């Protein structure tokens, strides 16, 4: 389920839309069955999905939630696809990637996604550097 992508092109092809990325995260999170991240209810029959949306509802605690709740993506509005690209870029550069490079790649990616190639001004500058050496995760 956790596929390896050799190139960014492969990643784009695997996730042509945001819904593909949401479906992928859903498949990973609920690979052992549905559960509520808010109350811990693990009875999948008591968790519904609102028609035509990515909003789920727990019939135990009566709360609604998205698949992002309880993940590192919870408090961000950045689309999952962009996160996947950022994660891929960081993993593709084992010695670290300058956040400015990440920002430039993001700008180029956004232009391609929008079907525009015009100049949107200078790439957004973000200070600092990010990479595996700063991560707390084990390889
Ligand atoms: Zn619940």
Give the Å distance between the CA of 58 and the centre of ligand 1. 5
pLDDT reported for residue 4: 84
pLDDT reported for residue 1: 46
Contact 11, 88 (CB under 8 A): yes
Give the Å distance between the CA of 70 and the centre of ligand 1. 12
Model confidence at 23: pLDDT above 90? yes
Percent over 70 (pLDDT), the chain: 66
Give the Å distance between the CA of 82 and the centre of ligand 1. 28
**The pair of three-digit structure tokens given for residue 68, joined into one six-digit string:** 């992002």
Give the Å distance between the CA of 96 and the centre of ligand 1. 39
Give the Å distance between the CA of 40 and the centre of ligand 1. 6
Contact 67, 54 (CB under 8 A): yes
Q: In 4-76, which residue ranges form alpha helices assigned H by DSSP?
A: 8-14, 18-29
Give the Å distance between the CA of 72 and the centre of ligand 1. 19
User: pLDDT for 75-125, tens place per residue?
Assistant: 999 999 999 999 998 888 777 667 666 666 666 666 665 654 444 444 434
What is the pTM for the complete model shown?
A: 0.68
* Residues in contact with 74: Cβ distance below 8 Å, sequence separation at least 6, in sequence order: 68
Model confidence at 66: pLDDT above 50? yes
């Amino acid at each position: 389920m956790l596929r390896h992508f050799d190139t960014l092109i492969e990643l784009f092809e695997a996730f042509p839309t945001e819904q593909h990325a949401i479906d992928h995260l859903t498949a990973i999170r609920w690979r052992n069955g549905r559960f509520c991240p808010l109350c811990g209810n693990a009875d999948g029959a008591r968790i519904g999905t609102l028609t035509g949306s990515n909003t789920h509802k727990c019939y135990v605690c009566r709360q609604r939630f998205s698949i992002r709740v309880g993940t590192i993506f919870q408090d961000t509005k950045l689309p999952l696809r962009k996160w996947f690209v950022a994660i891929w870029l960081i993993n593709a550069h084992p010695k670290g990637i300058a956040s400015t490079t990440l920002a430039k790649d993001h700008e180029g990616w956004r232009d391609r996604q929008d079907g525009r190639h015009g100049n949107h001004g200078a790439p957004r500058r973000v200070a600092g550097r990010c990479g595996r050496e700063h991560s707390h995760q084990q390889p």
